Amino acid sequence: MSWMQRGLLALIMTATATGLQADVLILGDGSRIVGNIEQITATEALMSNTFAGDLSVPRDTIASIETTAPVTVQLSDGAYLTGPLQTADAGAVAIQVDEVGSRAIPLAGIAGIYREDPQVLQQRALAVKVTANANVGMSLTSGNTDTENLRLDGQVVTRTPRNRYTLAGQYNEEEAENVLVTQNWSGLVKYDHFVSERWFLFNSATFESDEFADLDLRAALAAGMGYQFFETDERSLSIELGPSYVDENFDVAPDDSYAAARWSMNYEQRLLDNVTFFHFNEGLQGLENTDDLTIRSRTGVRLSISERIIARIQTAIDWDNSPPADTDSTDFEHSLSVGYRF
């Protein structure tokens, strides 16, 4: 046998082996996509080595799945099964589990399909990611006008695949000619529970105080549903909507409390390797009196000076549709601060 014949035989054997190891997605219209399943999540199937290279196939278009090699199937109740998959009844697949035999599983009962060992997947599910930052901004002027300004803020976010915990706060103080002209603070405690890859339930409590807006304390308790469009190191976008209860205590004006509807949007986008744009917007609309409306927004950019040191330029706007007497409805703040990222 010549070297050309041996090479051709090896090529045929390699192609045949690759074909034997291929996975198949059978779509609702009867078409078949042959390749290697990398993973299947609640929303998509990621395949490699298909006729078109790497593909992302919408999960809701898949009618059945076939694999020659064992895969790890995560059920909707959190259990794991490992084995090759074959077509079963409509809307289901059959998995061949060692020492157990074949078992039919409805596609709707599959949370995900992966190549990793179940223990690796369980360790990943228990993994905790913590991000934190603290920022300080300060300015001093002297001469015709003596002013001192101090701004402190920070945030800690703890994330697991199913849960997200957020703790944040800020404090502002300014003196002009040794007279206090600004003093306010706010805090947030929030819990998100992801019921799917994108949808989550949230509970939050926010607290605000502003000495020169006659606001001794505003407390807002909220709950509802949120949707995470994406959440990566490059970009993140989520929206939330739900009911809220607001309790306001003033130094001079009459205290007030009311039921409200709360909405929020939180967006971040990396523009360059070291520049990230961010925008946060939150509103509370009273349900009994439409005059009870407050809106907060935070917009700016963060610049990574080093791996840990960041600079931030931000514009903060707080608007109250019905402020206490002798106070302005809108507070603007433009700030430059330097922070540390943990």
Q: Is the domain of 307 the same as that of 164?
A: yes
Residue ranges in the chain assigned as alpha helix (H): 3-20, 118-126
Q: Is the domain of 121 the same as that of 23?
A: yes
Give the range of the structural domain holding residue 121, as residue numbers without chain letter.
3-126
Q: Is the domain of 170 the same as that of 303?
A: yes
Q: What is the pTM of this model?
A: 0.66
Q: Is the domain of 166 the same as that of 27?
A: no
Helix (H, G, I), strand (E, B) or coil at 13: helix
Residue 4 is predicted with a pLDDT of 52
Q: Which two tokens stand for residue 117?
A: 């060992």
- For 141, half-sphere exposure in the C-beta direction (CA atoms, 13 angstrom radius) is 10
Residue 142 is predicted with a pLDDT of 57
* Spatial separation of the C-alpha atoms in residues 232 and 281, rounded to whole Å: 20
Number of domains in the chain: 2
Nearest Cα to 85, choosing from 107, 54, 60? 107
CATH number, domain at 317?
Answer: 2.40.230.20
CA 330 to chain centre: 29
Nearest Cα to 221, choosing from 256, 167, 193, 262? 262
Q: Which two tokens stand for residue 67?
A: 């694999």
Residue 125 is predicted with a pLDDT of 65
Residue 187 is predicted with a pLDDT of 96
Q: Which two tokens stand for residue 320?
A: 């109250």
Residue 119 is predicted with a pLDDT of 77
Low-confidence ranges of the chain (pLDDT < 50): 3, 6-20
